[in-house]
Structure 1
Amino acid sequence: MPVTVLLVDDEPLVRAGLRAVLAAQPDIEVAGEAADGAAVIPLVRSLRPDVVAMDVRMPLLDGIEATRAVLRTVADPPKILVVTTFEDDEYVYEALRAGADGFLLKRSRPEEIVHAVRLVAAGDSLLFPASVRQLAARYGTGRVGAEPLAGARLTGREAEVLRLMARGLTNAEIAAGLVVGAETVKSHVSAVLAKLGARDRTQAVIAAYESGFVAPR
């Protein structure tokens, strides 16, 4: 089955460009388009896309509120990939905190766009470690203190996995670095998410930075 994608952007040229890149792939199908976040909920419910490529700045309902609405109201919600012009935008950080699975720059090369969609569809987060560190340092300092991790009681290996997640490593890369099986890493990641009360890897990484568990430097 192909990965289905909903494109949400108020710029027709951006939507056309993304459609051209993604539709050229045999394993990706563009299920639909929307020009504003306000149209996302009904389209997600009717089309059931695997991934929503969501512009972060839109006139009626921006990508942050649209992301929150999808995750709050849709059962078994799709993965959300924020598409942005500026990687150091506070909107990007807020979208990640709201539950987006990662972000993609509009100037990305076609192969990077395709890789991003495949990656989040497979359950990995698309994080750029340097950018996330900068975003956390600029916008996340002191937001929540150490509460997200204080009572988590992570094991030593789970803490190590979380640090590697914060560096942007995928499960396969973590497994190779720790010389363990991919299923073992998947189990550790699931345990980390459960203990932190995080929806996904992205929210776990944000919690790690905001709590000071990983230094945003």
Structure 2
Amino acid sequence: MIKVLLVDDHAVVRTGLNLLLNSQENMEVVGEASEGAEGIKKAQETKPDVVLMDLSMPHGKDGLSSTSELKKILPETAILILTMHDDEEYLFRAIQTGASGCVLKSAPHSELINAIQSVSVGNAYLHPSATKKLMEEYLGNIKESGSDLFELLSEREKEILTLIARGYANKEIAEKLIISVKTVETHKSNLMEKLQMKTRPELVSYALKKGLLGYGI
């Protein structure tokens, strides 16, 4: 049985969540609170597995500061942020405070149930658009750093990139590395995808900037 504590400043929202979660065979709402400080107190009393924490609570302690404080007191308790904001700033701040994930208040009931089950066993959960934003942020950071991109390549892909920069055709690369032309084409396609490039000239230019003409084969 997953014990859940609800922390939300809207009584109507808490009532709806209470009905939804208590209707699940493996979930039980063990308490409710209308703001963060009360939520922290109730959490210490009830020792929930998961706290559903509203992000924006104008009266009293807000969700982010409450999450940060509660994780210090009950580090094993998973905190799932409920938010109306599909905003990466709120998302990153929530994760930094120790939340196990975020769910939009507009999400389907099934998504909320899945999220609670996921964080209750130690996993993280992000709503789909949040996952996309995190990936875009990660890829954006990688794109800004050529060294990081280069490290994504396997040794074979680095060899093939170097030979491309030296002017070898696919057939010549295949003969030099004693592999099939199809294998060369596969590696070339993979490395172009990792480097986010679409043409051979782009690869050659990148390889020259990376100083790969002196890369050992």
| Sequence identity (%) | 35
Counterpart of 1:108 in 2: which secondary structure? coil
Corresponding residue for residue 161 of structure 1: none
- Compute the displacement of 1:112 (Å): 1.4
- Compute the displacement of 1:87 (Å): 1.8
Is 1:123–2:122 an aligned residue pair?
yes
Please tell me the residue identity of whatever aligns with 1:65: S
Corresponding residue for residue 73 of structure 1: 73
Corresponding residue for residue 7 of structure 1: 6
> Distance between the aligned counterparts of 1:30 and 1:18, measured in 2?
9
Distance change in 2, residues 1:89/1:19 (3 Å):
farther
Please tell me the residue identity of whatever aligns with 1:73: I
Distance change in 2, residues 1:61/1:137 (3 Å):
farther
Q: Whose radius of gyration is greater, 1 or 2? A: 2
The Cα offsets for residues 157-178 of structure 1, whole Å up to 9 and x where unpaired, read as xxxxxxxxxxxxxxxxxxxxxx
Distance change in 2, residues 1:96/1:136 (3 Å):
farther
> Distance between the aligned counterparts of 2:55 and 2:79, measured in 1?
11
Q: TM-score, structure 2 length as denominator?
A: 0.59
Counterpart of 1:49 in 2: which secondary structure? coil
Kindly indicate whether the alpha-carbon contact (under 8 Å) linking 1:56 and 1:64 is maintained by their aligned counterparts in 2.
yes
Higher relative CO (Cα under 8 Å, sequence separation at least 6) belongs to 1
- Compute the displacement of 1:129 (Å): 5.5
Kindly indicate whether the alpha-carbon contact (under 8 Å) linking 2:88 and 2:133 is maintained by their aligned counterparts in 1.
no
> Distance between the aligned counterparts of 2:114 and 2:128, measured in 1?
17
Count of aligned positions? 143
Structure 1: tracts of 5 or more residues without a match: 151-155, 157-217
> Distance between the aligned counterparts of 2:82 and 2:104, measured in 1?
6
Please tell me the residue identity of whatever aligns with 1:80: I
> Distance between the aligned counterparts of 1:51 and 1:96, measured in 2?
15
> Distance between the aligned counterparts of 2:122 and 2:102, measured in 1?
14
- Compute the displacement of 1:89 (Å): 5.5
Counterpart of 1:118 in 2: which secondary structure? helix
The Cα offsets for residues 144-196 of structure 1, whole Å up to 9 and x where unpaired, read as xx9xxx9xxxxx9xxxxxxxxxxxxxxxxxxxxxxxxxxxxxxxxxxxxxxxx
> Distance between the aligned counterparts of 1:117 and 1:24, measured in 2?
14
- Compute the displacement of 1:90 (Å): 2.6
Is 1:44–2:43 an aligned residue pair?
yes
Corresponding residue for residue 95 of structure 2: 96
> Distance between the aligned counterparts of 1:17 and 1:24, measured in 2?
11
Counterpart of 1:114 in 2: which secondary structure? helix
Is 1:62–2:55 an aligned residue pair?
no
> Distance between the aligned counterparts of 2:132 and 2:110, measured in 1?
25
Equivalent residues in 2 for 1:1-217, closer than 5 Å: 2-59=1-58, 60-74=60-74, 76-88=75-87, 90-128=89-127, 130-134=129-133
Structure 2: tracts of 5 or more residues without a match: 149-153, 155-217
> Distance between the aligned counterparts of 2:135 and 2:67, measured in 1?
19
Which 4+ runs in 1 deviate beyond 4 A?
135-138
Q: TM-score, structure 1 length as denominator?
A: 0.59
